[in-house]
Structure 1
Amino acid sequence: MIRQLLYGGVLALACVAQTLEAQTTYNSHAQLSGRLKNLSTKFNALASVSSIGKSAGGRDLWLLTLGKGDATKKPAILIVAGLDGTHLAGSELAIQTAEKMLGAANADSVAKLLETKTFYFLPSMNPDAQEQFSAKLKYERTTNDSKTDDDRDGRVDEDPFEDLNGDGVVSWIRVEDAAGTYVASKEDPRILVKADPSKGESGKYLVYTEGIDNDKDGVYNEDGAGGVNPEKNFTFDYQIFTTGSGEHAASEPEVRALLDFLYRAPNIFAVLTFGPNNNLSEAPRFDAAKVARRILTGPLAKDAKAMEQVSKLYNGRTALKDAPTMPQTRGNFSQTAYYHAGRYSFTTPGWWTPKVEAPRDTTRRAAATAPTTPSPTAPAATGGPAGGGGRMGGGGAAAAATSTANASEDDARFLKWADKEKLTGVYVDWKTIQHPDFPGQKVEVGGIVPFSKLNPPVSYLTAAADKHVKFLTGLGAQMPEIQLVNVKTESLGNGLTRITATVINKGLMPTYAEIGDRVRFVQKVKTELKLGAGQAIVSGKRLNLRAALASDESEEYTWLVSGTGKLTIETGCPTAGVKSADVTLK
C-alpha cells in the first residue's frame, strides 16, 4: 500500500510539483501563509486553514487540518514544527509532508487514512524568530518579539548583534589572547575546540558572538531583539530565572495557543514535533526509579513499550541512520505533551547531517570555504563558536563556551558533508577586523553561516518528506481501532432481555497512553447503553468507564433491560474512535 502511495500517486503529486520546484529557499511568514492558503483552496474537500492565535509579534499561528468530514470526531495526529526558531527545516518538512499527503489522496491507503483519521499541522509556532532568516541581518534567533530585559540592567534590547565584517550574517569573533581557552581543531582547523590541558594544549583564543559590548558589562550581545524562547516556556520541567524562559511558565502567546489547542482537542492520539530533539531514532526506556517519584521524569512501562514500537516503525519506514544525540531540553513542548497532556509524544529533526568520510581531496574543502556571503541555495545553521552563527537567547561568551564543547563534533561532521556535497555559502573564512573592545589585539570574524547546520538546501528535504509520509501513514495504520462485536440478545420472559456485547481494540497500539490516566486529561474508554422510552436497566451499569485497551484487548458487558423497542450501545473514546450498534429488545 505504501508503494501505491509513493509511486501509484505520481499523477496526483504532479499538482503540487510546481510549488515544490519553484521553492529554492525557506519561506518567510508571508510566503508560508500564502502557501497554506493555496493548499486549502486547491484541496478544499480535504484541507482547511485557520489561526489558533497570534505570536508576540502579531503573526498568525496557522493550523492546517487534513481529513474528510468532521475533524473533531476522528482520532488525530498533531504535527508541530518551528517552535525552535532556528529549525526552518522542520517547518518545511511539515508543509511538504502535508502537500504530499494531499497530492496522494487518491491512493487507496491515503484515502482511507484521510477518511478515518485527522491530521493537524502547526508548521510555524515561533514565526517571530523564524523571520530572522529573511531579515537584512541574518542570525539564529530562538526568541519571540516579547520585550525582555535579559541581563536585568533596567534596559531592553540595548546589546544586540552587530555585523562587523559586513557580510550580512552574524557569526563569531575570535581574539588571540594568552588567557584564551580555545584552539583550532586538529581534525578541521576551521573549527575551534576547547583546549585540553591534560594533552598539553594551551588555549589561544577567546571566543564571542559577533558584535560589540555596547553596555560595557563584559558580556556580548546578551540583550538583543526579542525575549522569550517558546521551547523553554512550556510547563513540564520549566526553569525559572533562565535566560529566554520567560517570567513564568506558559507566559507567551505562542505557548498558550498551542496548549489551549492540545487540551481542547481530546481526539489527539499522538503528537509529532519536528525540532532539534530526537526520541524516535532511539526510544526512551522504562526506568522504574524515574516513575516512582511524585513527578515523573520517564515514560510509564506500557508507554515505553509503545514508544519502542513506534521507534522501530520510524527507523524502518524512514531508513534514517546515524542520528546525532539530541536529548530533550527543559521546558519544551514535546515533553509537556506527554507528561502534562497525557499524549504519546514523539520528536525528530526529520533531517540531520549524514555521516561521511573526511574528503581526501582538499580542493573540495576550499570550494566550501571560498564564499564569504551566504548562498540563496544553501540557507541555514546552529553552531557553537566553534563555527556557527550567532544564536539569540544565548548569553554571549558564556553560552558560547558551553555550546562549543558540545558542538565541535557536529560542526566537523557538517563541514565534511558540506565539502562532499560541494555546498557554497555555508562557511565564512576567518577575517581580521579592527575591534573597538580589543585594541592592539588580533580579532577575526568567521565560522559556519547561520542556519546552515540544521537546515540543508531545501531540495534535500524532498526525500526526507517522502520518508515522513511513509512514517505517518504507517503510524496512522497502527493507531487503535475500537470495534463493537458479538452483540447478542436473549429473551428471559416477563419483558426482560439480556444483552451482551464485547468491546475490542483491533488496532496495534493502546487506545491512549497509559499516562493519560495519571494526568486525567485523556478520556477513558466509555461504553454506554442509550435507552428508549419505557425502557429501564434492571442489572448492569448504564455507563461504563475503563482504562486504555491494549492491542487486541477486549471487555465484555452484560445488561438486563426491561421494556420493548430499540436501544443503542455506544462505545469508544476520542483517541480511538466511537462505534455503536442498535439492539431490538425481545
Structure 2
Amino acid sequence: MKKSLLGGLLMGGLLLAQSSMAQSDYPTLTQIKSRAQSVASNSSAELITLTKTAGGEDIQVLKIGTGNLNEKPAIAVVGGVEGFHVLSVELALQFAESLIDQNKSALDKTTFYVFPNMSPDAYKQYHASLKYERRGNAASLDHDRDGTPGDNGYTDLNGDGLITWMRVEDPTGDYIISEEDDRVMVKADRAAGQSGQYAIYMESKDDDQDGKFAEDLTEGIAFNKSLTYKFPVFEPLAGDIPVSQPESRAMLDFLFDQWNIFAFVTFSPANNLSSPLSYNAGNARKRVLTSILEEDQKINKMVSDQYKKTVSQKAYGQNNQGTDGDFFQWAYFHFGRLSFGTPGYWTPEFKDAEGKGKSSPEANYLAWADSLGWNDVFVPWTPITHPDFPGKKVEVGGIKPFVMANPPFDQVEKIATEHTDFILALADMQPKLELHNLKVEDLGNGLSRVSVDLFNNAPLPTHSELGERSRWLRKIRVDMGIDKDRLISGDATSTIDVLGAYEKVSMSWVVRGKGAADLKVGAAHLGFINEKINL
C-alpha cells in the first residue's frame, strides 16, 4: 500500500512538472492533442478527427454543448489558420478549456465548434531545430514550376537555428538602413531622392541557380491562402485549385453539415474587430461581392464595439482586413455567416519621451521590446561569406521569427481570458426567438382563431444580410402541427426570411374543432421553440 501511494505521489509530481513545463511555452502538437482529449473527456464535449494532413497530423474539432447540439445556435472558433501564428492555437484551446472548467452555463443555449489548429504541419516549425515562420503544409509542391519540388528553400547561413534575413550591399538595391533604428531596413524613397544601398532576401542560397532565392520552399500549401473566395491563382502556397488539401476539404465538408452555425471567430492576422470593415456601395453591387453588405457592416460595428469594451489592448498597425484565399473572408462571402477575425495580440504603439512614434512596424516593435528589456528578439547583423555573392558584403540578421506575431507566453493567459469573455459576450448577443401574446379566440361554429407574436429578443438579426441571400442559411420555419383539413386559414408550414434586432411578426390561423395543436418555430442557427396550444 505504501509503495503504491509513493508511486502515485511520484506520478502526480511528474504530471505536475510536465504541466508546469507545458505552460512555459506554446504547446507542441502532442500537448495540443492531449489537451483536446482532456476537454473531450467531459460529457459535454466530443473530439472529432476530420482527416490527416500530408504530414500525417490530425485535423480535429471539439464539439462542445449540451442537449440537442444541432438545434442550438452555434459559434465556430478557429485557430491555426496560419502556421506561424502559434498564439491562435493557444487561444482556441484555452477557450475550449474554459467552457468546460468555468463557463458550462453558456452551453445551455449555444453550441461551440472549436478547431484548435488548422495548420499543424506548419505549426511544427515553431518547435523544430530550424525555426522559421512557415505557412505551408507538408505536401510536395513545385512552387517555381521548374520540374523539381522544393529545390530552393531556406538555408541557415549563420548556424543559429533561425531563418532571418540577409542584406547584400548593392547600389541597385531597393533598401537602406533606417534612420530611426540601424537594425531595421526600409525601402528607399526614390521620390525624396534616396538611392538604394542594399538588396534584401530571406536567409537562403540559390540552390537551383536560377537567380532567385527561397522561391521554391520545402513546404506545400497554406491553408489560409487556399480557400475559394478570391483564390490567388498561380501564387506560391495557394495550389493549382482551391480547397485542394485534405484539411481544407474535410473542414468545409464538416461545416456544410452544420446548419446551426451563425458566427465565426477566427484567430488570424485578418482583423475586423478592433476596426470593422467598411461598406462600399459599388463593390457591394458587383456580381462577385468584394464589400461587406450595408446591414452587415452595422453588425460588424456593433460587435467591434463590444470587442473593444472586452479586450483591454488597443490595436495598433492592424490594417489586414483579409487576404486572397483566406478563411476569414470565406466564412462571410462564401458561407454567408457573420465572420469576425482578430490576431488576438499586436505590438503596442511605442512613443518616446517627446511623444514621437516610429514609422515602420519593425522599428516600433524593437523600440517596444527595448523599453521592456527584451534583449533576445533580434539577431545582430553579422557578415558571412555567401557563395552566390562573391566579392560582396553580405550580412545575416533581423528580428527573430515568431516574436512579432506572438507575445511571450507569460502574457497569453490574460489575452485568452479576455477573448473568452468576448466570445461569450457574442453568444449572449445571438438571435433569440420568443413567442408572445398567444391568444385562442372562440369564433363560434366550432372555429377558433389562434394568434401569436414571434419576437427576436436580441441585438442581432436572425440572418446576416448576406446570409439572407444565401441558401446556406436557412429561413425561419413555422409549423402549425394540426391536420390540414382542420386548417381554415393560415399555412400549416410557412417561412420567414428574417427578423431584425428586437423585431416581431404577428401570425394567425383559423382552426376547426377542439383538441391540441403543436406550434414549432425556428431554424438550426436560431434554435427551435415549441408551444402546445389548447383549442
TM-score by length of 1: 0.85
Equivalent position of 1:67 in the other structure: 65
Give the counterpart of 2:93 among 83, 87, 95: 95
Q: Which 5+ residue runs of structure 2 have no aligned equivalent?
A: 1-15
Give the counterpart of 2:425 among 455, 471, 474: 474
From the superposition, tell whether residues 197 and 301 of structure 1 become closer, same or farther in structure 2 (CA, over 3 Å). closer
Return the alpha-carbon distance in structure 2 between the equivalents of residues 299 and 524 of structure 1: 21
Equivalent position of 2:487 in the other structure: 537
Equivalent position of 1:348 in the other structure: 342
Deviation at 1:32, TM superposition (A): 0.7
Return the alpha-carbon distance in structure 2 between the equivalents of residues 359 and 231 of structure 1: 40
Give the counterpart of 1:202 among 195, 204, 220: 195
Equivalent position of 1:119 in the other structure: 112
Paired residue type of 1:531: I
The answer to whether residue 469 in structure 2 is matched with residue 518 in structure 1 is: yes
Counterpart secondary structure, 2:360 = helix
Return the alpha-carbon distance in structure 2 between the equivalents of residues 291 and 37 of structure 1: 43
Equivalent positions of 1:178-577 (< 5 A) are 178-324=171-317, 325-358=319-352, 409-531=360-482, 536-577=486-527
TM-score by length of 2: 0.93
Equivalent position of 1:31 in the other structure: 31
% of aligned pairs identical? Answer: 39
Is the 8 Å Cα contact of residues 270 and 322 (structure 2) preserved in structure 1? Answer: yes
Return the alpha-carbon distance in structure 2 between the equivalents of residues 464 and 18 of structure 1: 23
The answer to whether residue 173 in structure 2 is matched with residue 173 in structure 1 is: no
Return the alpha-carbon distance in structure 2 between the equivalents of residues 36 and 155 of structure 1: 38
Return the alpha-carbon distance in structure 2 between the equivalents of residues 199 and 63 of structure 1: 52
More off after superposition, 427-436 vs 294-303:
294-303
Equivalent position of 2:10 in the other structure: none
More off after superposition, 422-431 vs 147-156:
422-431
Is the 8 Å Cα contact of residues 99 and 106 (structure 2) preserved in structure 1? Answer: no
Return the alpha-carbon distance in structure 2 between the equivalents of residues 546 and 53 of structure 1: 37
Deviation at 1:127, TM superposition (A): 0.7
Return the alpha-carbon distance in structure 2 between the equivalents of residues 18 and 438 of structure 1: 47
Deviation at 1:249, TM superposition (A): 1.3
Paired residue type of 1:582: K
Counterpart secondary structure, 2:428 = helix
Deviation at 1:418, TM superposition (A): 1.3
Is the 8 Å Cα contact of residues 484 and 580 (structure 1) preserved in structure 2? Answer: no
Return the alpha-carbon distance in structure 1 between the equivalents of residues 516 and 267 of structure 2: 49
Q: Which 5+ residue runs of structure 1 have no aligned equivalent?
A: 1-15, 106-110, 361-406
Paired residue type of 1:65: K
Return the alpha-carbon distance in structure 1 between the equivalents of residues 18 and 500 of structure 2: 44
Kindly indicate whether structure 1 or structure 2 has the higher relative contact order, using CA contacts under 8 Å at least 6 residues apart.
1
Deviation at 1:494, TM superposition (A): 3.2
Deviation at 1:470, TM superposition (A): 1.7
Is the 8 Å Cα contact of residues 163 and 211 (structure 1) preserved in structure 2? Answer: yes
Task: Tell me the alpha carbon deviations over residues 294-334 of structure 1, each in whole angstroms, 9 at most, x when there is no partner.
Answer: 11111222211111110110011113313322231011111
Return the alpha-carbon distance in structure 2 between the equivalents of residues 104 and 19 of structure 1: 19
Return the alpha-carbon distance in structure 1 between the equivalents of residues 223 and 325 of structure 2: 8
Equivalent position of 2:3 in the other structure: none
Task: Tell me the alpha carbon deviations over residues 78-113 of structure 1, each in whole angstroms, 9 at most, x when there is no partner.
Answer: 1111111111111111112222333323xxxxx432
Paired residue type of 1:180: G
Deviation at 1:69, TM superposition (A): 2.3
Paired residue type of 2:127: S
Kindly report structure 1 stretches of 4+ aligned residues shifted beyond 3 Å.
16-22
Deviation at 1:120, TM superposition (A): 1.3
Equivalent position of 2:102 in the other structure: 104
Equivalent position of 2:11 in the other structure: none
Task: Tell me the alpha carbon deviations over residues 416-444 of structure 1, each in whole angstroms, 9 at most, x when there is no partner.
Answer: 12112222431111111111111111111
Is the 8 Å Cα contact of residues 535 and 563 (structure 1) preserved in structure 2? Answer: no
Return the alpha-carbon distance in structure 2 between the equivalents of residues 127 and 359 of structure 1: 43
Deviation at 1:446, TM superposition (A): 0.6
Return the alpha-carbon distance in structure 2 between the equivalents of residues 330 and 235 of structure 1: 9
Return the alpha-carbon distance in structure 2 between the equivalents of residues 22 and 233 of structure 1: 32
Deviation at 1:39, TM superposition (A): 2.3
Return the alpha-carbon distance in structure 2 between the equivalents of residues 197 and 290 of structure 1: 33
Return the alpha-carbon distance in structure 2 between the equivalents of residues 76 and 216 of structure 1: 52
Equivalenced residues, count:
517
Equivalent position of 1:54 in the other structure: 52
Return the alpha-carbon distance in structure 2 between the equivalents of residues 113 and 551 of structure 1: 21
Task: Tell me the alpha carbon deviations over residues 212-235 of structure 1, each in whole angstroms, 9 at most, x when there is no partner.
Answer: 100000111111212211111111
Deviation at 1:179, TM superposition (A): 1.9
